């Protein structure tokens, strides 16, 4: 599995960030989960190096960990062009790819 597979979650993040920054903490987290998962799945299914099942596992892993890591406050900051949070999301996604590759072996 290629290391650049983290791209779907980052692309999904860019789209979702504009939609999730308003509301209560609970609504930001709920919207983030929905939008990040949807964006990741949509982008991930276009990656030929992963099966549909792998995309689902990858998206579940990276979205759950992103939300846990950033919380509502960090998710709100994703709307900015360049944020430390985006680098953290990239690292989370790379960890999920590595774990997926290990379970596949």
Instruction: Please spell the DSSP secondary structure of 8-25, one letter per residue.
Output: HHHHHHHHHHHHHSSS-H
Q: pLDDT digits over 5-23, tens only?
A: 556 656 666 556 666 767 8
Helix, strand, coil % over all residues of the chain, rounded to 5? 80, 0, 20
Contact 65, 59 (CB under 8 A): no
Residue 49 pLDDT exceeds 50? yes
Res 51: pLDDT:
84
Res 60: pLDDT:
92
The Cα 51–Cα 41 span in angstroms is: 11
Mean pLDDT, the chain, whole residue set: 78
């Amino acid at each position: 599995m290629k290391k650049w597979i983290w791209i779907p979650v980052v692309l999904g993040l860019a789209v979702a960030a504009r939609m999730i920054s308003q509301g209560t903490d609970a609504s930001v987290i709920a919207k983030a989960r929905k939008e990040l998962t949807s964006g990741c799945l949509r982008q991930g299914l276009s990656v030929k190096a992963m099966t549909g099942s792998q995309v689902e596992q990858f998206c579940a892993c990276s979205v759950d960990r992103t939300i846990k890591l950033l919380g509502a406050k960090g998710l709100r900051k994703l709307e900015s062009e360049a944020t430390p949070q985006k680098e953290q999301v990239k690292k989370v996604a790379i960890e999920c790819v590595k774990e997926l590759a290990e379970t596949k072996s």
